């Protein structure tokens, strides 16, 4: 009996949609099932407060693979990325630092802190750009499997080895340091000013339960030099209409190619018979069959909840149970009556047309981490802020603003236990607003509405287990051929006909779309459906 | 064969001297202090001394089983956890990797720079193959973990974990929750075996005897102030009294930073060479205490970690990390017949408020207060304490770090202290590095001096 669908994709997040679009484009009959009413998973936009659109969770885009944008013709389906123009860091003493795409202006700004660092900054950018060129193929290819003797695997390993050799001694060493050192130690080899090192280092901790001085955090710095928007590298961007607009563009592309998408269709179980996936059971009890099932959900949720331990080899269950999630961040979205000026640099200038880091010193960031280590949210957290309404006036009524605040640390595992987060939600929101008010004195009186998302909320609402925004820590032992489990990093799973396509698969989290694309590529290459 | 000077009369200095003397060099050891011994005075753990070094040096020493680490806190000394099934299972896991780690510690690290002969990679590659690919992958998985996560996987209780983790942290700049601290614990545990009978004093005595027998001249109270370099070649040293000594080989066992940034003038180094060591991370986290005892502490247990659990260790590390006065240090204690060597973990070299006599005095009283409840009244006698700042000033330890440099993934094996220096050679002909800041790392192995001397 022929099945109605070639593939059922669990979860309508951006990766699930990318995977669906590629499969549909290749002529496969695809069904995407999304639990929520809104598509996009954690990459969604919602009008939570009338007239104001929030990018509820994910709020910037940089690594969305250019090839995906081209292949799926996303601009045709409504994708419009507005580049973030600067990175701004205010300090409590009234000074501030803005780095922008203008090298001369950036030089002047940094020179006010340290002329030496101003000289080094472009050199650093150049070195990182070279490393980014080495690393990019890694996120554009599936992870090699060092356990396999297959020619394709060996060739890929050899190719990586050759590319590494071609970097030469100095860059090769730099790459090694970047992969193993802490963000602060790595940057301190280049720069002397803590005010510069601190905001630069914090890109290494976003989404992880680590501090800027924890080994292994330097690697993510590179992501800042890998972004590509409209062909220009090193830019972060914001999608017109919010991050959800990206998901919607991908969804429209998928539908255009023939994929079927259902919302309010939560999957409660992946049906397995004789070690092979048959289809899914929906929350309403109905069943759907397909040749293959592809899960865009996070691995622990996929295997331990939707599949069930009983269907899986013990060794694999152990690996998945060990898989570290440990969400560490929250999100506060504000609807504002008027723009809240930064005391150190008032007005709506270039400095608020990018992202803003509250990361005044490396010690400050470590103290924020210390709170989290012992099971509390940071009383004075690290924050990364964007004003979407400044870039895209449609996000709020005229003259009014939305403010997107990414907050760390908000550890999922608070000492009272994660289910106690709802009681702490407002106190957490207050800590954020109180800290921010030190930089924006008029903030409090301009707030019309406040949405506070704790890691508990991210789990309950978006299926992000333990509130981890990347579907699993981007730590060394959970990358490449070990994501999500050693030997199972190529989208296949121990269950035949069950595949992974979410951020819990290589190359990991962020609005990249790469896991979805690479999964679809392997599924098609292997003729799985 | 010509004349060789060894800077530093610590265990590595003596070992290097003995090795070079056996090669036919005429060797003089220059020690700044009034007696040889160097770090031997600061360390007590001989369990990580690699037996091959003792054999290579021809030392006559006996070995005996090493007593287990015991945990202690205000509730008293905890029962030994050595027989705990979870600990036994974990030890078995460590044993799987011990062969590779010990063999890596018995040779110069593989040269990973592209001008290297691929032959140097053959040995470790064979050892790694012996492990099998599955085990190799497991090593790649475990290495980046934090120690606590790794031991959690083995279901070892957290207060037992702290006794297994603390001794390994002394060589790092990490807490139990720092990523890669699992690797430090793995290395320390894999390197540990039997201990030298008579401990560090017996080892030092054997080294001194052997050096004497080998015809090594030892000059104490001879502080080297500069390494003389001519045409990028070491030609000798200058001493603090202004006198100069000539030599064809200079082997320094003080820290790589002290050697290349202080003893060698910047003018003698090729461009960019000083920078290679400048960034080596050497943040000391340990103060060393010697305590006279009139009666045994801890019910006579020889090796004790005074820490309630991992949180206590982590908080101690936080103090060092934030460069503040230690609030709650943890202790790693080696108790001997009449005294104890106590490593105080969580003590920053560079305190923001600086080290003062009052600061050191306060730390002494903290150590006293932690020890006293574990013995009879009056058991704790005179207590001398060296802060990391003292360790740097008096023993030439880079950054006051007990091991001349932090154990870290980017500072071990072929990366210790820096890939350009990992082969014990420097950019200056005839100048070698053979101190604790070199490979192998992970514990006191006595290997660096010998491996460096073999490069000569």
Count residue pairs from A and B with Cβ separation < 8 A. 67
- B409 in A contact zone (CB under 8 Å): yes
3-state secondary structure of A231: coil
> Which residues on A lie below 8 Å from B145 (Cβ)?
477
pLDDT given for residue B82 in this prediction = 86
Q: Which of A289-303, A466-480, B282-296 has the lowest mean pLDDT?
A: A466-480
| Binary contact (A169, B144; C-beta < 8 A) | no
* Domain co-membership, B317 together with B250: no
* Domain co-membership, B135 together with B101: yes
Percent with pLDDT over 70 in chain A:
98
Residues 486-505 of A with CB under 8 A from B: 486-487
Q: For residue A178, what is the nearest residue in chain B, using CA coordinates?
A: B410
pLDDT given for residue B165 in this prediction = 98
CA distance A369 to chain B (A): 11
Q: Which of A74-78, A145-149, A353-357, B47-51 has the lowest mean pLDDT?
A: A145-149
* Tens of pLDDT, residues B258-310: 999 999 988 888 877 777 889 999 999 999 999 999 999 999 999 999 999 99
Q: Is the pLDDT of residue A65 over 90?
A: no
pLDDT given for residue A498 in this prediction = 98
Q: Is the pLDDT of residue A3 over 80?
A: no
* Domain co-membership, B29 together with B114: no
Specify the CATH number for the domain of residue B29.
Answer: 3.50.50.60
Distances (CA, A) of A101 to A233, A352, B434: 11, 14, 48
Q: Is there a contact between B389 and B348 (Cβ–Cβ < 8 Å)?
A: no
3-state secondary structure of B50: coil
Q: Is there a contact between B209 and B57 (Cβ–Cβ < 8 Å)?
A: no
Identify from A194, A215, A217 which residue to disrupt to test chain B contact, counting B C-beta atoms within 10 A and taking the largest count. A215
Q: What's phi and psi for A448, nearest 5 deg?
A: -95, -35
* Tens of pLDDT, residues A412-451: 999 999 999 999 999 999 999 999 999 999 999 999 999 9
Question: Would residue B29 count as lying in a domain?
Answer: yes
* Domain co-membership, B308 together with B369: yes
Q: What is the mean pLDDT of chain A?
A: 92
Q: Shortest CB distance from A477 goes to which of B144, B174, B311? A: B144
Cβ contacts of B144 within 8 Å, gap of 6 or more: A215, A216, A475, A476, A477, B179, B180, B182, B183, B409
The fold for domain A5-48+61-82+240-322+472-525 equals: FAD/NAD(P)-binding domain (3.50.50)
pLDDT given for residue B125 in this prediction = 63
| Binary contact (B180, A165; C-beta < 8 A) | no
Beta bridge partners of A330: A407
> Which residues on B lie below 8 Å from A214 (Cβ)?
178-179
Residue A2: alpha-carbon gap to chain centroid: 38
Question: Would residue B248 count as lying in a domain?
Answer: yes
> Which residues on A lie below 8 Å from B311 (Cβ)?
374
- A175 in B contact zone (CB under 8 Å): no
* Domain co-membership, B267 together with B302: no
Identify from A150, A153, A186, A214 which residue to disrupt to test chain B contact, counting B C-beta atoms within 10 A and taking the largest count. A214
In the block, tokens 């000033």 appear at B393
pLDDT given for residue A83 in this prediction = 85
> Which residues on B lie below 8 Å from A489 (Cβ)?
none
Largest CA distance in chain A: 73
Which of the listed residues B176, B194, B212 is the one where a domain comes to its end? B194
* Domain co-membership, B334 together with B242: no
CA distance A267 to chain B (A): 31
Rounded Cα distance, A445 and A465, in Å: 35
The string over B369-383, giving b where at least 16 C-beta atoms fall within 10 Å of a residue's C-beta and e elsewhere, is ebbeebbeeebbeeb
- B144 in A contact zone (CB under 8 Å): yes
CA distance B312 to chain A (A): 11
Identify from B93, B175, B180, B353 which residue to disrupt to test chain A contact, counting A C-beta atoms within 10 A and taking the largest count. B180
| Binary contact (B419, A169; C-beta < 8 A) | yes
| Binary contact (A486, B144; C-beta < 8 A) | no
CB neighbour class for A382 (10 Å; exposed up to 12, middle 13-18, buried from 19): buried
**Count of domains forming chain B:** 3
Tell me the pTM: 0.94
* Domain co-membership, B126 together with B266: no
* Domain co-membership, B180 together with B206: no
* Domain co-membership, B87 together with B188: yes
Question: Would residue B404 count as lying in a domain?
Answer: no
pLDDT given for residue B117 in this prediction = 45
Which of the listed residues B194, B220, B247 is the one where a domain comes to its end? B194
| Binary contact (B133, A322; C-beta < 8 A) | no
Q: What's phi and psi for A57, nearest 5 deg?
A: -110, -90
Q: Is the pLDDT of residue A36 over 50?
A: yes
Q: Is the pLDDT of residue B116 over 70?
A: no
| Binary contact (A363, B137; C-beta < 8 A) | no
pLDDT confidence of B110, banded at 50, 70, 90? confident
> Which residues on B lie below 8 Å from A477 (Cβ)?
140-145
Q: What is the mean pLDDT of chain B?
A: 93
Question: Would residue B132 count as lying in a domain?
Answer: yes
| Binary contact (B144, A370; C-beta < 8 A) | no
Q: For residue A473, what is the nearest residue in chain B, using CA coordinates?
A: B145
Of A95, A487, A36, the closest CA to residue A297 belongs to A36
Q: Is the pLDDT of residue B64 over 80?
A: yes
> What ranges do the domains of chain A cover?
5-48+61-82+240-322+472-525, 120-231, 325-465
* Tens of pLDDT, residues B201-255: 999 999 999 999 999 999 999 999 999 999 999 999 999 999 999 999 999 999 9
Percent with pLDDT over 90 in chain A:
76
ipTM confidence: 0.93
Q: Which of A92-96, A136-140, B416-420, B443-447 has the lowest mean pLDDT?
A: A136-140
Identify from B129, B138, B139, B141 which residue to disrupt to test chain A contact, counting A C-beta atoms within 10 A and taking the largest count. B141
Identify from A123, A171, A476 which residue to disrupt to test chain B contact, counting B C-beta atoms within 10 A and taking the largest count. A476
Stated as kind and residue range, the H or E segment containing B339 is strand B339-345
Percent with pLDDT over 90 in chain B:
85
> Which residues on B lie below 8 Å from A481 (Cβ)?
137
Domain limits for position B98 = 82-194
CA distance B29 to chain A (A): 35
Rounded Cα distance, A214 and A205, in Å: 9
Which of the listed residues B194, B214, B240 is the one where a domain comes to its end? B194
CA distance B113 to chain A (A): 6
Distances (CA, A) of A201 to A169, A212, A220, A330, B409: 25, 6, 9, 19, 19
Q: What's phi and psi for B63, nearest 5 deg?
A: -115, 150
Residue B190: alpha-carbon gap to chain centroid: 15
Stronger pLDDT, B111 or B143, i.e. the higher one: B143
pLDDT mean over B379-384: 96
pLDDT mean over B130-143: 81
pLDDT mean over A368-397: 97
Domain covering A325-465 in this structure, CATH number: 3.90.660
* Domain co-membership, B239 together with B183: no
Q: Is the dihedral of CA B85, B88, B92, B93 positive or negative?
A: positive
Q: Is there a contact between B265 and B431 (Cβ–Cβ < 8 Å)?
A: no
- B321 in A contact zone (CB under 8 Å): yes
């Amino acid at each position: 009996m022929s099945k109605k669908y070639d593939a059922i994709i669990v979860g309508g997040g951006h990766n699930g949609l990318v995977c669906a679009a590629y499969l549909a484009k290749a002529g496969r009959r695809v069904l995407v099932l999304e639990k929520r009413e809104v598509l996009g998973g954690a990459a969604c936009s919602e009008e939570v407060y009338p007239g104001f659109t929030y990018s509820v969770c994910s709020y910037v885009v940089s690594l969305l693979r250019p090839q995906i944008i081209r292949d799926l013709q996303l601009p045709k389906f409504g994708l419009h990325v507005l580049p973030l123009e600067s990175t701004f860091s205010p300090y409590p003493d009234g000074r501030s630092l803005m780095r922008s795409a203008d090298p001369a202006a950036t030089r002047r700004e940094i020179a006010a802190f340290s002329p030496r660092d101003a000289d080094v900054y472009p050199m650093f950018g150049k070195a990182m750009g070279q490393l980014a060129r080495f690393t990019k193929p890694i996120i554009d290819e599936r992870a090699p499997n060092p356990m396999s003797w297959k020619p394709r695997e060996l060739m890929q390993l050899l190719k990586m080895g050759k590319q590494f050799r071609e970097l030469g001694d100095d860059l090769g060493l730099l790459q090694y340091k970047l992969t193993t050192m802490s963000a602060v130690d790595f940057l301190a080899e280049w720069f002397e000013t803590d005010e510069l090192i601190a905001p630069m280092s914090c890109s290494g901790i976003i989404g992880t339960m680590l501090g800027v001085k924890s080994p292994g955090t330097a690697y993510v710095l590179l992501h800042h030099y890998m972004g590509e928007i409209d062909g220009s590298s090193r830019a972060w961007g914001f999608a017109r209409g919010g991050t959800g607009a990206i998901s919607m563009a991908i969804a429209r592309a998928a539908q255009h190619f023939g994929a079927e998408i259902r919302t309010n269709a939560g999957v409660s179980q992946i049906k397995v018979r004789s070690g092979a996936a048959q289809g899914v059971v929906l929350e309403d009890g109905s069943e759907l069959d397909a040749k293959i099932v592809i899960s865009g959900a996070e691995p622990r949720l996929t295997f331990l909840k939707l599949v069930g331990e009983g269907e899986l080899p013990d060794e694999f269950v152990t690996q998945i149970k060990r898989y570290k999630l440990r969400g560490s961040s929250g999100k506060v979205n504000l609807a504002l009556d008027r723009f809240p000026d930064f005391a150190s640099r008032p007005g709506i200038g270039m400095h608020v047309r990018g992202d803003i880091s509250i990361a005044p010193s490396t010690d400050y960031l470590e103290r924020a981490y210390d709170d989290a280590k012992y099971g509390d949210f940071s009383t004075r957290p690290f924050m990364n802020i964007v004003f979407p309404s400044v870039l895209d006036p449609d996000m709020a009524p005229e003259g009014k603003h939305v403010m997107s605040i990414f907050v760390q640390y908000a550890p999922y595992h608070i000492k009272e236990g994660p289910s106690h987060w709802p009681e702490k939600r407002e106190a957490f929101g207050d800590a954020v607003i109180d800290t921010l008010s030190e930089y924006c004195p008029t903030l409090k009186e301009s707030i019309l509405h406040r949405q506070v998302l704790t890691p508990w909320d991210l789990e309950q609402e978006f299926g992000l287990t333990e509130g981890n925004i990347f579907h699993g820590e981007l730590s060394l032992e959970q990358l490449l051929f070990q994501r999500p489990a050693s030997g199972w990093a190529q989208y296949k799973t121990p269950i035949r006909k069950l595949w992974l396509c979410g951020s819990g698969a290589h190359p990991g989290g962020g609005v990249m779309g790469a896991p979805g694309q690479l999964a679809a590529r392997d599924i098609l290459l292997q003729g799985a459906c | 064969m010509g004349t060789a000077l060894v800077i530093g009369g610590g265990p590595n200095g003596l070992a290097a001297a003995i090795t070079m003397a056996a090669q036919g060099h005429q060797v003089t050891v220059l020690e700044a202090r009034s007696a040889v011994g160097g770090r031997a005075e600061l360390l007590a753990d001989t369990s990580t001394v690699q037996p091959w070094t003792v054999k290579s040096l021809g030392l006559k020493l006996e070995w005996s089983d090493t007593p287990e680490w015991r945990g202690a806190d205000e509730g008293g000394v905890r029962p030994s956890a050595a027989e705990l099934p979870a600990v036994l299972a974990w030890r078995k896991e460590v044993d799987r990797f011990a062969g590779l780690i010990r063999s890596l510690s018995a040779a110069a690290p593989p040269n990973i720079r592209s001008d290297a002969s691929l032959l140097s990679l053959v040995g470790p590659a064979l050892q790694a193959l012996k492990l099998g690919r599955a085990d190799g992958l497991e090593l790649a998985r475990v290495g980046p973990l934090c120690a606590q996560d790794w031991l959690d996987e083995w279901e070892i209780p957290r207060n037992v974990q702290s006794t297994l983790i603390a001794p390994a942290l002394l060589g790092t700049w990490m807490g139990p929750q720092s990523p890669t601290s699992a690797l430090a614990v793995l290395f320390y545990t894999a390197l540990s075996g039997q201990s030298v009978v008579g401990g560090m004093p017996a080892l030092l005595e054997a080294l001194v005897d052997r050096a004497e027998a080998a015809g090594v001249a030892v000059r104490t109270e001879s502080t080297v102030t500069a390494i003389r370099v001519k045409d990028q070649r070491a030609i000798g040293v200058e001493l603090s009294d202004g006198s100069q000594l000539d030599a064809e080989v200079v082997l320094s066992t003080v820290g790589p930073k002290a050697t290349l940034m202080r003893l060698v003038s910047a003018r003698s180094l090729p461009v960019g060479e000083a920078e290679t060591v400048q960034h080596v991370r050497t943040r000391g986290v340990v103060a060393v205490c010697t305590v006279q005892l009139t009666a045994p502490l801890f019910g006579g247990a020889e090796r004790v970690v005074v820490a309630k659990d991992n949180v206590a260790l982590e908080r101690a590390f936080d103090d060092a990390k934030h460069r503040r006065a230690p609030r709650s240090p943890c202790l790693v204690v080696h108790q001997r017949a009449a005294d104890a060597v106590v490593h105080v973990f969580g003590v920053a070299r560079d305190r923001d408020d600086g080290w003062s006599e009052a600061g050191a005095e306060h730390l002494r009283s903290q150590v006293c207060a932690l020890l006293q409840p574990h013995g009879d009244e009056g058991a704790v006698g005179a207590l001398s304490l060296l802060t990391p700042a003292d360790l740097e000033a008096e023993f030439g330890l880079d950054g006051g770090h007990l091991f001349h440099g932090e154990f870290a993934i980017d500072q071990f094996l072929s990366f210790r202290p820096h890939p350009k220096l990992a082969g014990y050679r420097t950019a200056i002909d005839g100048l070698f590095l053979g101190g604790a800041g070199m490979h192998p790392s992970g514990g006191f192995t006595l290997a660096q001096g010998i491996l460096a001397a073999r490069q000569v």
